[in-house]
Amino acid sequence: SSQVPKDSLLMAYVHNTTSTVPATVSSLKAALRERGISPKKRLGQNFLIDQNILRLIVETADICERDIVLEIGTGAGSLTELLRERAHKVLSVEIDRGFFNLSREALAPYDNIHVVNMDVLHSKTAIEPRVEGLLQEWLNRDGELVLKVVSNLPYSISTPAIIALLEGELPVGLMVLTLQKEIVDRLTARPGTKDYGVLSVIAQLFSEIRIIRTLPVEVFWPAPQVESAIVALNAHKEKAREVVHDYQLFSIIVRTVFQSRRKTLLNSLLMPNLPFVSKSKGKEALLDAFKRLGIEPHLRGEALDLEGFVALTKEISTLI
């Protein structure tokens, strides 16, 4: 297992006797004024303030005492506090030092919550190794534990975080996320639509996606400019890896196609970053592959569905 020294994570471990998590807008505003902090638009800090919605999120995630929960964006700790009532452990990651300090103080009474002050993303495609390491350490202690991700996910990192969690090594079983409508549209988009892209293909490969409920702007403070929704992603990573035998190649093909949406599928796949011996040989091989699959080479890549990308990957893997 990945061992993480305790001093390598800035954590909240100190325990008081009473919770001071702000439960209303007025108490949240007062807590922020007292500390001289305010929500940052660039970090997508729009806090869920409707207690019924917070409880719905926890209910949807079906949290129980066998669950390890990763929460991205602790904020003031309202969702964190509800999660810890049912979960075995909660690891909550907060990038903002001001909100980390606020939530550390508010959540101090609970010994099954660990709040860390860092960016959950190590890169645009990977979760921070220290976060992964700690979660894996907890999971390794008891093979019966299940990992879930429950979060009012900050808009600015929604797409890379979802992709990194699905593509990564953590055995995520379920994600229940509050997302802005634009991200929800991308998750559920069908081929040939403007919202269809890398996120759509990867999310639909690795999970079953359900929209639980749309949310008006009034349930957040500060109110965002667009509607949001609660979305559940039931992940099936092992099944996805069985369907796609060479995931690295699949990922390259999908990303290449959507980086050049205006090009035909043929021209997209003749880009230099694809592993063909030469452009001339690659073209002939691709045309043969398209013919075997019944794919029109002058089709735009965005018209290809998930099954098409899977089949194409399998064909191209035989050419390398």
pLDDT at residue 283, as a whole number:
83
Q: Can you tell me the distance from the alpha carbon of 215 to that of 178, in angstroms, rounded to the nearest whole number? A: 9
Cβ atoms of 200 and 189 within 8 Å: the answer is: yes
* Predicted pLDDT of residue 297: 87
Please tell me the distance from the alpha carbon of residue 199 to that of residue 207, in angstroms, as a whole number: 12
Q: Compute the half-sphere exposure of residue 156: CA atoms within 13 Å on the CB side of its CA.
A: 12
pTM of the predicted model over 0.95: no
- pLDDT per residue, tens digit, the chain (320 aa), is 344 444 445 554 434 445 678 878 888 888 888 888 877 877 767 889 899 999 999 999 999 999 999 999 999 999 999 999 999 999 999 999 999 999 999 999 999 999 999 999 999 899 999 999 999 999 999 989 999 999 999 888 999 999 999 999 999 999 999 999 999 999 999 999 999 999 999 999 999 999 999 999 999 988 888 899 999 999 999 999 999 999 999 999 999 999 988 889 988 888 766 665 455 567 888 899 899 999 998 999 899 999 999 999 999 888 77
* Two tokens, residue 127: 């979760």
Q: For residue 241, what is the enclosing H or E element?
A: helix 237-243
Q: pLDDT at position 270, please? A: 83
